[in-house]
Amino acid sequence: MINFEDTKPVFTHKSNWELRKSYYLFSILQHSFLVKIGSLLLKISFFLRIPFNKLIKMTIFNQFCGGESIQDCTKKINELFQFGIGTILDYSVEGKENESDFEKTKEEIIQTIYFSAKNSKIPFTVFKITGLGKSSLIEKASLDFQSLEDNELVELNLVAMRVDEICKAATENQVSVFVDAEDSWYQDYIDQLVESMIFKYNNESSIVFNTIQLYRHDRLQYMRGLISRCNSNGKKLGLKLVRGAYMEKEREQASKKNYPDPIQKDKQATDNDFNKAVEFCIENIETVSLCLGTHNEKSVLHLTDLMKKRAFKKNDSRIWFAQLLGMSDHISFNLSKEGYNVAKYVPYGPIKEVLPYLIRRAEENTSVSGQTGRELSLIKIELERRN
């Protein structure tokens, strides 16, 4: 049994000052009111060009991001690798809405692939499809493709071409790439596009990974169908399983637009589907490469138990665990210490450009029940152990 209470290997790379800084940050993130006020002040400060960059960089940016450029991330990449943890490079610029920005994002993602191909410490890269095209267009294509105008079809074709360029570069450089899941009103088009890339490029190995959000009640069925289609067509499949983090927004949108709520009825239903999804992937491991993207200790132990029962090696190249940088180090570092494949999402980008990501990260920390409290309790245990 992996001991997630063992804080010594988890925080050995952090000084007392760094631990205290994290403690104070998570203490703030416990309070939704403070997070909302802080997020608003951040937006206002950037709008008014108030020079808060240094303060942001020293606090929330350093906790959750690797740097402002790929090269800036090198220190964090090397630091993680000292403890056997790989890096998932994530260019986390969000909310762009013009063609030149989409092209710039595409080129940056391809650069992460080139960088990863030369660096064994980076097993994966990742991108969001809404970073490569207008979110309103992707939403329209998901909800009612037939209603698209000719000019919209031209724009959508550019999105598909950008995704194809990324997946082609990943294939040529043998770097696996995750396509992140997004809000349900974007996901149908994303699934169609990702599936076309899987059928085009996943011939010999799992290059293109789709992401399954199990807090949606329809995702387990979709995942099973996708695995079946890949089995029937002799294709490899990469899957990243997550619970998901947009629950409040999803329910609000469903209520506002008067359509059925896509979210599971309760947490237990989400957990049940998550476990079933993990089990189904393991049953189909000859086809599926699996990345378990979770901060849930029970889910991690469920997969490690399944691996033991089937006599899989701990470092089986088809099975990975992943957590976000700055969170759940007690899972990442203890898994790595035991010999499992582990990687951290390492977001990067100019501070101003990754601000939407940072705000979302802060809000998600507040909304995930027990997550922030767990971080605080472990930091406290380690600080007391050192005294």
Helices (H), 234-370: 247-257, 267-283, 297-309, 329-337, 351-367
- Tell the residue number behind the tokens 């598909």, with chain if given: 160
Domain ranges of the chain: 70-353
Q: Which of 80, 131, 110 is nearest to 325 (CA)?
A: 80
What is the pLDDT confidence band of residue 43, given thresholds at 50, 70 and 90?
Answer: confident
Alpha-carbon span 63 to 206, nearest angstrom: 31
Return the structure tokens found at 270: 């989400």
The mean pLDDT value for 15-43 works out to 83
- Is 178 in contact with 208 (CB distance < 8 Å)? no
pLDDT at 190: 98
What is the pLDDT confidence band of residue 132, given thresholds at 50, 70 and 90?
Answer: very high
pLDDT at 49: 73
Q: pLDDT per residue over 194-241, tens digit each?
A: 999 999 999 999 999 999 999 999 999 999 999 999 999 999 999 999
What is the pLDDT confidence band of residue 366, given thresholds at 50, 70 and 90?
Answer: low
Across 165-306, where does the E strand assignment appear?
A: 176-179, 208-213, 237-242, 288-293
Alpha-carbon span 98 to 252, nearest angstrom: 27
What is the pLDDT confidence band of residue 42, given thresholds at 50, 70 and 90?
Answer: confident
Q: pLDDT per residue over 79-120, tens digit each?
A: 999 999 999 999 998 878 899 999 999 999 999 999 999 999
CATH of domain 70-353: 3.20.20.220
- Is 172 in contact with 164 (CB distance < 8 Å)? no
User: Does 189 score more than 90 pLDDT?
Assistant: yes
> What DSSP assignment string belongs to 88-112?
EEEE------SHHHHHHHHHHHHHH
Return the amino acid letter for 347.
P
Return the structure tokens found at 372: 């922030």
Alpha-carbon span 217 to 221, nearest angstrom: 8
Range scoring the smallest mean pLDDT among 51-55, 130-134, 141-145: 51-55
